[in-house]
Amino acid sequence: MWLGTDKVFEAFTFIVEDTEWGTMQIHGYPYSDQGSTFIVEMAEDVWHRAGFDATEDRVFRPGENDDAAIARIGEIFAPYLGDSRILANNSQWITFTTVRNTSWVHRNLVLLGDAAHTAHFSIGSGTKLAMEDALSLAACLHENGDLGTALKVYEEERRPVVESTQRAAQASLEWFETIGTYREQEQVQFTFNLLTRSRRITFDNLRLRDADFADRVMRSFGASTGAGPETPAMFHPVTIGDLRLKNRIMVSPMDMYSAVDGMPNDFHVMHLGSKALGGAGLVMTEMVCVSADGRITPGCTGLYTDEQREGWRRVVDAVHAYSGAKIGLQLGHSGRKGSTKLMWEGIDDPLDDGNWEVMAPSALPYGPNSAVPREMTRADMDRVIGEFADAARRGADAGFDLLEFHAGHGYLISSFLSPIANTRTDEYGGSVENRLRFPLEVFDAVRSAWPADRPVSVRLSATDWVPDGNDIDDALEIARAFCDHGVDLVDVSTGQVAKHERPAFGRSYQTPYADRIRNEVAGPAGVKVVAVGAISSYDDVNSILLAGRADLCALGRAHLYDPQWTLHAAADQEYAGPGAEWPDQFRAGNRKPPSARTDAVRPRLALLREEESELPSHVRWTP
Ligand X SMILES: Cc1cc2nc3c(=O)[nH]c(=O)nc-3n(C[C@H](O)[C@H](O)[C@H](O)COP(=O)(O)O)c2cc1C
Ligand Y SMILES: Cc1cc2nc3c(=O)[nH]c(=O)nc-3n(C[C@H](O)[C@H](O)[C@H](O)COP(=O)(O)OP(=O)(O)OC[C@H]3O[C@@H](n4cnc5c(N)ncnc54)[C@H](O)[C@@H]3O)c2cc1C
Residues that bind ligand Y (CB under 6 A): 2, 113-115, 124-128, 130
Do the beta carbons of residue 420 and residue 466 sit within 8 Å?
Answer: yes
Name the minimum Å distance from CB 255 to ligand X: 4
**Contacted entry of ligand X, ligand Y, none for residue 534, CB cut-off 5 to 8 Å set by kind:** ligand X
Q: Does 415 bind ligand X (CB under 6 A)?
A: no
Name which of residues 521 to 540 contact ligand X (CB under 6 A). Answer: 532-535
Name the minimum Å distance from CB 240 to ligand X: 17
Helix H segments across 323-456?
A: 343-346, 378-398, 412-417, 432-449
Q: Does 489 bind ligand X (CB under 6 A)?
A: no
3-state secondary structure 114-136: HHCCCCCHHHCCHHHHHHHHHHH
- The span of 124-132, 197-205, 540-548, 554-562 binding ligand X (CB under 6 A) equals 554-562
**Contacted entry of ligand X, ligand Y, none for residue 398, CB cut-off 5 to 8 Å set by kind:** none
User: How many helices (H) and strands (E) are present in the chain, helices listed first?
Assistant: 20, 19
Name the minimum Å distance from CB 257 to ligand X: 8
Q: Which of 518, 230, 252 is nearest to 409 (CA)?
A: 252
Round the CA-based radius of gyration of the chain to a whole number and report it: 27
Residue number with CB closer to ligand Y (106 or 588): 106
- The span of 64-72, 91-99, 190-198, 549-557 binding ligand X (CB under 6 A) equals 549-557
Q: Which of 251, 220, 221 is nearest to 236 (CA)?
A: 221
Draw the binding track, 221-260, toward ligand X (x: CB under 6 A; -: no contact): -------------------------------xxxx-----
From 304, 411, 513, 538, active-site residue: 411
Secondary structure of residue 411 in the 3-state scheme: coil
Residue number with CB closer to ligand X (190 or 405): 405
Residue number with CB closer to ligand Y (28 or 533): 28
Name the minimum Å distance from CB 2 to ligand Y: 5
Q: Does 291 bind ligand X (CB under 6 A)?
A: no
- The span of 182-190, 385-393, 413-421, 556-564 binding ligand X (CB under 6 A) equals 556-564
Q: Which of 118, 123, 117, 200 is nearest to 155 (CA)?
A: 117
Name the minimum Å distance from CB 530 to ligand X: 10
582: Cα separation from own chain's centroid: 29
Name the minimum Å distance from CB 52 to ligand X: 41
Name the minimum Å distance from CB 556 to ligand X: 3
**Contacted entry of ligand Y, ligand X, none for residue 508, CB cut-off 5 to 8 Å set by kind:** none
**Contacted entry of ligand X, ligand Y, none for residue 555, CB cut-off 5 to 8 Å set by kind:** ligand X
Helix H segments across 330-377?
A: 343-346
Residue number with CB closer to ligand X (406 or 480): 406
Q: Looking at beta carbons, which residue is closest to ligand X?
A: 556
Helix H segments across 233-354?
A: 266-277, 306-322, 343-346
CA distances from 409 to 154, 221, 533, 543, 590 (A): 41, 33, 13, 26, 37
Neighbour-count burial for 113-124, b at 16+ CB within 10 Å, e otherwise: eeebbbbbbbbe
Give the angle subtended at the CA of 9 by the CAs of 8 and 10, to the nearest 5°: 115
Q: Does 406 bind ligand X (CB under 6 A)?
A: yes
CA distances from 210 to 115, 173, 422 (A): 36, 24, 51
Q: Does 558 bind ligand X (CB under 6 A)?
A: yes
DSSP string, 172-189: HHHHHHTGGGGTTS-HHH
**Contacted entry of ligand X, ligand Y, none for residue 451, CB cut-off 5 to 8 Å set by kind:** none
**Contacted entry of ligand X, ligand Y, none for residue 113, CB cut-off 5 to 8 Å set by kind:** ligand Y
Neighbour-count burial for 394-420, b at 16+ CB within 10 Å, e otherwise: bbbebbbbbbbbbbbbbbbbbbbbbbb
**Contacted entry of ligand X, ligand Y, none for residue 124, CB cut-off 5 to 8 Å set by kind:** ligand Y
Residue number with CB closer to ligand Y (125 or 463): 125
Q: Please pick, from the candidates 181, 493, 537, 566, the single residue that binds ligand X as defined by CB under 6 A.
A: 493
Based on the residue annotation, tell me whether 561 is a catalytic residue of this protein: no
Q: Tell me the C-alpha distance between 269 and 275, whole Å.
A: 10
**Contacted entry of ligand X, ligand Y, none for residue 253, CB cut-off 5 to 8 Å set by kind:** ligand X
Supply φ then ψ for residue 345, to 5 degrees.
Answer: -105, -10
CA distances from 422 to 104, 404, 411, 426, 439 (A): 43, 23, 12, 11, 12
Tell me which residues touch ligand X (CB under 6 A): 252-255, 286-287, 330, 406, 409, 459, 493, 532-535, 555-558
Task: List active site positions.
Answer: 411
